[in-house]
Amino acid sequence: MADTRAADDNPFFEAWSTPFGVPPFPHMKSEHFMPAYERAFAEHDAEIAAIAGNPAPPDFDNTVVALENAGRALQRVDDVFHQLVGTDSNDALLKIERDIAPVSAAHWSKIRMNEALFARLDALQRQAGTLGITPEQARVLERHHTMFRRHGAALDATGKQRLAAIAGRLAELGAAFSQNVLADEQSYTMPLGGEADLAGLPDFVREAAAAAAAERGMKGRHVVTLQRSSVEPFLQFSSRRDLREKAYRAWIARGDNNDRTDNKAIIAETVALRIERARLLGYPTFAHYRLDDAMAKTPDAVRNLLNTVWAPARVRALADRDALQELIAEEGGNFKLAPWDWRYYAEKLRKRRCDIEESEVKPYMQLDRVIEAAFDCAGRLFGLKFKPVDVPVWHPDVRAWEVTGADGGHVGIFYGDYYARPSKRSGGWMGTMRDQERMHGEVRPIVLNVMNFNKGDPTLLSFDDARTLFHEMGHALHGLLSSVTYPSVCCTSVLTDWVELPSQLYEHWFEQPQVLRKFARHHRTGEPIPDALVKKLIAARNFDRGRDTLEYIASSLVDLDLHLLQSADGLDIAAFERDALKRIGMPEEIGMRHRPPHFQHVFSGGYYASAYYSYMWSETLDADAFAAFEETGDVFNPEVAKRLYANVLSTGGSRDPAELYVAFRGRLPNADALLKQRGFAGVG
């Protein structure tokens, strides 16, 4: 499998002498990864064999601590590879991803089905109350035991063999799904010709379209790409209905073009394998299996939350639909509102109802100032400081900062990769290239935020883009402020419907007038955003929230319903999607946030499968959590911030989430704060 020539001068076979021990990106080549993976897999196998074959009776140190220590070389390779293939891929890296996915799945299946190893964990779990271990150690033991059990460690030999085969195939399918979406995004551009094609587009959209063209070797032209940050502004401002339709149809057809990158067959096979996996493990459906290890626990709990919000959101969306149709008629249009019209006419309606347009706000949303705002809020809440630092990066656009605490001590390294490019997967995410832990001294994290903003001079963001930056910064704080001993429960290693709490909660601070007045400054004049515009911006925060909410919940319910299937025989995903949307009464003028053929949260891997709902579950928590600050009259209240740090940001997965939330807030939340936050209180 490996190219032995790459063993020479392979950075993965050396200690890194870079500042802060960051990866030496300029010295890393595609051919280094396969030899590094081979050696790391072999080392990990030997470590696991030693733990499982230890003749001494199992105890916490010789079993759990040993497991925590095992696989460090593999973790180092994985962390770098997955970030590079997501942010700056090339054909060689994509091939490695396809090749390594089933190998990695088989490796982990073999470990988690190791009978002798599970027997040691099972013996410890049964006597956990008498081991004299700390609460964090008890949680680490429980999580290892649960993980092994959920991966089939208690199955017979036949069941284990089949489950391992399923895991390997799912890994192949997930990699193929993701690469198909990337290929569709890379291959498509919609050229815009003369002024007629640019009609209605403000300067910042034109500049972004010109930059996208230049990046693709078409300097002097304008193109729309299938990046969300390119398509959505075009749909919002273009007065060319024919081009809006063309762009929209291409956008929603990613992974659904009946060609070599079509994902429908991958979805059908993935769903079938997930059903089989759940049954092997004793669950009626994959959704039951997936949610059993989440805060929600059951599909019914998820559906109840989504339905609670769906009903008032639909009422609001239908009222907005009628208002948009009236606006079309007022302008002399004789056509029915379509999904590619919604954002365009909503922008007009926003101007009428709220006396505000996106184009008024965007000149004040300069990327560098929004980054400053995110750092400043982290400083006011948690005493953090961010200082630019010269360390190796994986692309010239990437920036890096050293993060220090209130005492001046080193907290971690933070990378920001903010610009869209053809080699980068769409969306935004947080990742780590080293996790915090204290098993061998104080190990501080290396955290990154990735986004896909259109590069400009300067780069101007929409208000939603700015909120996205704060969202990912919230995840980053979860990684940077982690303060636990064991790697398996550090940072964002938490239940899926808890992981979005820090990120969604952090969004609230950008919406505060005091933050906007300080950091929202006009990119040309430097003048602060006018108070009148701030007031209108805050007043308009829930404008078009009905449509936004239905887009999200529809995707969540389709995800849930797909994984409640007991058979995928003859699954026609297009028909399933149509039937599911009809069943919930989805207005035909509104599209899903993510259609199944490009729903990477759910089909590029299993993390959000049956769990896309978790953003709204976490929003129930974040709405109530921010109210804790508001109730004091100070959104930067130091005492509440200390409780947030102590019970959410620093704890990782070291305690049960419900227990942590009660420790922070004094009680569990209900949906009331969520409905109020979205502007749906009293709507019915």
On whether residue 553 sits in a domain, the answer given is: no
Q: 3-state DSSP call for residue 450?
A: strand
- The answer to whether residues 202 and 85 belong to one domain is no
Helix (H) or strand (E) holding 641: helix 638-644
- The answer to whether residues 11 and 135 belong to one domain is yes
63-88 burial by CB neighbour count: b if 16+ within 10 A, else e? bbbbbbebbebbbbbbbbbebbbbbb
Q: Count the domains in the chain.
A: 3
Residues 431, 83 contacting (CB under 8 angstroms): yes
- The answer to whether residues 512 and 377 belong to one domain is yes
- The answer to whether residues 130 and 238 belong to one domain is no
Q: What pLDDT score was predicted for residue 426?
A: 87
Could you tell me the CA-to-CA distances from 132 to 59, 88, 127 in Å, in that order? 11, 47, 10
Instruction: For residue 432, give the DSSP letter.
Output: E
Number of other CB atoms surrounding residue 192 within 10 Å: 24
SS3 of 183-202: the string is HHHHHCCEEECCCCCCCCCC
Q: Which residues of the chain have pLDDT under 70?
A: 1-8, 684
- The answer to whether residues 438 and 517 belong to one domain is yes
512-533 burial by CB neighbour count: b if 16+ within 10 A, else e? beebbeebbbebeeeebbeeeb
Using the structure block, give the residue that is written with the tokens 């073999």. 110
CA atoms of 592 and 350, how far apart (whole Å)? 22
pTM given for the model: 0.92
CA atoms of 655 and 102, how far apart (whole Å)? 32
CA atoms of 62 and 143, how far apart (whole Å)? 17
On whether residue 442 sits in a domain, the answer given is: yes
- The answer to whether residues 425 and 523 belong to one domain is yes
- Classify strands 385-388 and 399-404 as parallel, antiparallel or unpaired: antiparallel
Helix (H) or strand (E) holding 388: strand 385-388
CA atoms of 383 and 519, how far apart (whole Å)? 19
CATH number at residue 55: 1.10.1370.40
- Which amino acid does the sequence have at 446? I
Residues 384, 483 contacting (CB under 8 angstroms): no
On whether residue 138 sits in a domain, the answer given is: yes
Choose one of 507, 529, 551: the last residue of a domain.
529
Residue numbers of the domain that contains 368: 363-529
On whether residue 58 sits in a domain, the answer given is: yes
Q: What pLDDT score was predicted for residue 4?
A: 44
Could you tell me the CA-to-CA distances from 106 to 78, 160, 163 in Å, in that order? 15, 11, 10
- The answer to whether residues 138 and 204 belong to one domain is no
Could you tell me the CA-to-CA distances from 631 to 510, 627, 638 in Å, in that order? 18, 6, 13
Is residue 472 annotated as a catalytic residue, yes or no? yes
Asked, as a colleague might, if the bond just before 388 is cis with ω within 30 of 0, I would say no
On whether residue 123 sits in a domain, the answer given is: yes
- The answer to whether residues 213 and 143 belong to one domain is no
Both tokens assigned to 73: 């070389």
Q: What pLDDT score was predicted for residue 7?
A: 55
204 half-sphere exposure, CB direction, 13 A CA radius: 25
CA atoms of 149 and 292, how far apart (whole Å)? 12
Task: List pLDDT tens digits, range 273-300.
Answer: 999 999 999 999 999 999 999 999 999 9
CA atoms of 457 and 344, how far apart (whole Å)? 25
Q: How many helices (H) and strands (E) does the chain have?
A: 27, 7
Phi, psi dihedral angles at 584 (to 5 degrees): -90, 0
Q: What pLDDT score was predicted for residue 129?
A: 93
CA atoms of 468 and 452, how far apart (whole Å)? 10
Q: What pLDDT score was predicted for residue 8?
A: 67
Q: How many residues appear in the chain?
A: 684
Distance of CA 647 to the CA centre of its chain: 22
Task: List pLDDT tens digits, range 196-231.
Answer: 999 999 998 999 999 999 989 998 899 999 998 899
Residues 388, 401 contacting (CB under 8 angstroms): yes
Helix (H) or strand (E) holding 136: helix 135-150
97, 185, 472, 619: which is the annotated catalytic residue? 472
On whether residue 318 sits in a domain, the answer given is: no
Q: What pLDDT score was predicted for residue 539?
A: 87
On whether residue 426 sits in a domain, the answer given is: yes
CA atoms of 30 and 8, how far apart (whole Å)? 14
CA atoms of 369 and 331, how far apart (whole Å)? 38
Positive or negative torsion for Cα 246, 248, 254, 259:
negative
- The answer to whether residues 42 and 91 belong to one domain is yes
- The answer to whether residues 210 and 84 belong to one domain is no
Both tokens assigned to 75: 């973790």
CA atoms of 615 and 295, how far apart (whole Å)? 12
- The answer to whether residues 41 and 130 belong to one domain is yes
Residues 438, 485 contacting (CB under 8 angstroms): yes
Both tokens assigned to 322: 């009628």
> For 331-462, where are the alpha helices, taking DSSP H only?
339-354, 358-361, 367-382
* CA torsion angle 292 294 295 299 (round to 10): -50
Number of other CB atoms surrounding residue 343 within 10 Å: 21
Using the structure block, give the residue that is written with the tokens 């990066």. 393
Both tokens assigned to 523: 């990119």
- The answer to whether residues 498 and 370 belong to one domain is yes
On whether residue 285 sits in a domain, the answer given is: no
CA atoms of 176 and 99, how far apart (whole Å)? 11
